[in-house]
Chains A and B, each alone.
Chain A
């Protein structure tokens, strides 16, 4: 329909000369591809769509500080999983494909993350940290996990299935396990608190730390690709960080206050709901 071959589009998306176009496309994809469908579905399902998605409740400073500690600790576990993922033996032909996918991702991220000055850094924080955090959390946690959890009455099954979908949507083999883990962490924050803003905050901190690290590396004279190609042995970090993370979640579960679900009015029999006798 566009007259473009898939190869041309791929080359165009990874060309640093197209940086501004790639940024606009990133914004359109996040808002139209992720945010609009979940708002539409919530509107179809419920008279109060924003409340259904989890945009409710007040956020306390105590919750914010524990979420911050959770994200920092989870980064170490995630780094350990990424190292493990890189060492999973795969067939040579598949390895070529996975390596190309990873190289293309780094090229595309480099095209967006030009990061030549502080203004470009702030723009990258908005486009690659805030927007994906808002739109992906609304879709994956507020929408998919929330609906599946209510349908199956099994929140952890919903968290695991949606985390796998979340990771698959990023099209990265080497980052698959660490993104499943990230999805589970965000899913648990949403499940325990019932507040979507907290999982958006966690996702934003995670992305903003990565962009800030790349910016700091670039300010020291290295390229974005060099900064993203760090593949040291991080397996030990994960082993040490995991018990701390579990303890932090135990603490988070105790301090967070889930916004109350509505209780049925007295005298109403829920089994008769959606019938003329209700």
Chain B
């Protein structure tokens, strides 16, 4: 498949690169969620 905008990296590498990024960004999303873990009444959602 011709693509003049390709940067020359294979799509199979792109497939596995994307899976690795998803794993890493899911962990990042979990860390970013921590400051939002307050329940509706203002208390912490989770017991420490």
Would you give the 0/1 interface string for A39-51, flagging 1 where the beta carbon is closer than 8 Å to chain B? 0110011111001
What's the Cα separation between A244 and B21 when bound, in Å?
A: 39
Contact B40 A20 (CB under 8 A): yes
Task: Say which residue of A1, A29, A44 sits within 8 Å of B29 (CB atoms).
Answer: A29
Min CB distance B43 to A, Å, is 9
Would you give the 0/1 interface string for B24-48, flagging 1 where the beta carbon is closer than 8 Å to chain A? 1110111111101111110001111
Contact A37 B25 (CB under 8 A): yes
Q: In the complex where A4-B46, A144-B15 touch, is A17 in contact with B39 (Cβ < 8 A)?
A: yes
Contact B28 A32 (CB under 8 A): yes
Contact B5 A47 (CB under 8 A): yes
Min CB distance A49 to B, Å, is 9
What's the Cα separation between A28 and B28 when bound, in Å?
A: 10
| CB of A263 closer than 8 Å to a CB of B | yes
Q: How many A-B residue pairs have CB under 8 A?
A: 126
Binds B, one of A121-129, A146-154, A175-183, A248-256: A146-154
Contact A25 B2 (CB under 8 A): no
| CB of A52 closer than 8 Å to a CB of B | yes
Contact A151 B22 (CB under 8 A): no
What's the Cα separation between A271 and B37 when bound, in Å?
A: 54
Q: How many residues of A contact B (CB 8 A)?
A: 49
Task: Say which residue of B6, B25, B28, B29 sits within 8 Å of A46 (CB atoms).
Answer: B6
Q: In the complex where A21-B39, A40-B21, A274-B8 touch, is A33 in contact with B15 (Cβ < 8 A)?
A: no
| CB of A91 closer than 8 Å to a CB of B | no
Task: Say which residue of B2, B8, B34, B41 sits within 8 Å of A263 (CB atoms).
Answer: B2
CB-CB < 8 A to B11: which residues of A?
A: 45, 146-148, 150-151
| CB of A18 closer than 8 Å to a CB of B | yes
Task: Say which residue of B12, B25, B31, B48 sits within 8 Å of A151 (CB atoms).
Answer: B12
Task: Say which residue of A2, A29, A45, A148 sits within 8 Å of B6 (CB atoms).
Answer: A45
Q: In the complex where A12-B46, A17-B39, A37-B21 touch, is A46 in contact with B5 (Cβ < 8 A)?
A: yes
What's the Cα separation between A32 and B8 when bound, in Å?
A: 26
Q: In the complex where A28-B36, A44-B17, A51-B5 touch, is A21 in contact with B22 (Cβ < 8 A)?
A: no
Q: In the complex where A21-B38, A151-B11 touch, is A52 in contact with B18 (Cβ < 8 A)?
A: no
CB-CB < 8 A to B15: which residues of A?
A: 144, 147-148, 151
CB nearest to A25 among chain B residues = B33
What's the Cα separation between A20 and B3 when bound, in Å?
A: 44
What's the Cα separation between A147 and B1 when bound, in Å?
A: 12
CB-CB < 8 A to B41: which residues of A?
A: 17
| 5 additional contacts (CB under 8 A) given A41-B21, A151-B14 | A17-B41, A32-B25, A44-B7, A144-B19, A270-B2
8 residue pairs from A and B, CB less than 8 Å apart: A12-B46, A17-B40, A18-B39, A20-B39, A28-B33, A29-B29, A37-B21, A147-B15
Q: Which 6 A-B pairs have the closest CB atoms?
A: A37-B21, A151-B12, A32-B29, A47-B5, A151-B11, A12-B45
